[in-house]
Amino acid sequence: DQQVKQNSPSLSVQEGRISILNCDYTNSMFDYFLWYKKYPAEGPTFLISISSIKDKNEDGRFTVFLNKSAKHLSLHIVPSQPGDSAVYFCAASANYKLSFGAGTTVTVRA
Amino acid sequence: NAGVTQTPKFQVLKTGQSMTLQCAQDMNHEYMSWYRQDPGMGLRLIHYSVGAGITDQGEVPNGYNVSRSTTEDFPLRLLSAAPSQTSVYFCASSYSSVNTGELFFGEGSRLTVL
């Protein structure tokens, strides 16, 4: 039973527009949430994270929002660039274990 | 700086064969882990280690063994390969024994079991 769910397998967005990726989780013990980015034939790379005691974290073009009551987090990318085309994984951490969602493939159109 | 190095990058096995996927990191990280990636499933944790001599099971440990005799190395052993173990395997490490989740991943090992 997946504890972290990304219900949108793909997202297509025009260059310069906002990309919004969503993630839901079921385990209330998760205390840290992260987003990873993955290009083909490479390992995932860390993008941005947020502690469960916060509701927003921003790093340049990337902002992560956490709604604990809804058990929902989202990643906003503004503005979207061609190099942002990749698979994005949502992840959540508890007790030395990191659980990942299935991923969302983002395609940025010129 | 090599980071996390996995070998081999590609491997084809027959059902019942055994093999070891190697993982080494040169960042003096305490925490190391193995994941497998399957279509539509994301990355699933197989085993992890919070330091030399300490290992524990993740979400999908059956059919896999690990050991951690040094800080640098964390090999993953398949004792009797099955077609269900066809997957891409990722090794990852973290600087802290408390997993805040900021993992550094290797490039992956693609395993096919016939």
Nearest residue of A to residue B36, measured between CA atoms: A100
Q: What is the phi-psi region of residue B84: left when phi exceeds 0, alpha when psi lies from -120 to 50, beta otherwise?
A: alpha
Per-residue pLDDT of chain A (110 residues; tens, 9 = 90+): 789 999 999 999 999 999 999 999 999 999 999 999 999 999 999 999 999 999 999 999 999 999 999 999 999 999 999 999 999 999 999 888 889 999 999 999 99
Q: What is the phi-psi region of residue B61: left when phi exceeds 0, alpha when psi lies from -120 to 50, beta otherwise?
A: alpha
**A48 touches B at CB < 8 Å:** no
Kindly report the nearest CA distance between residue B18 and chain A, in angstroms.
Answer: 24
Between chains, do B90 and A4 touch, taking CB under 8 Å as contact?
no
Distance CA B1, CA A88 (A): 25
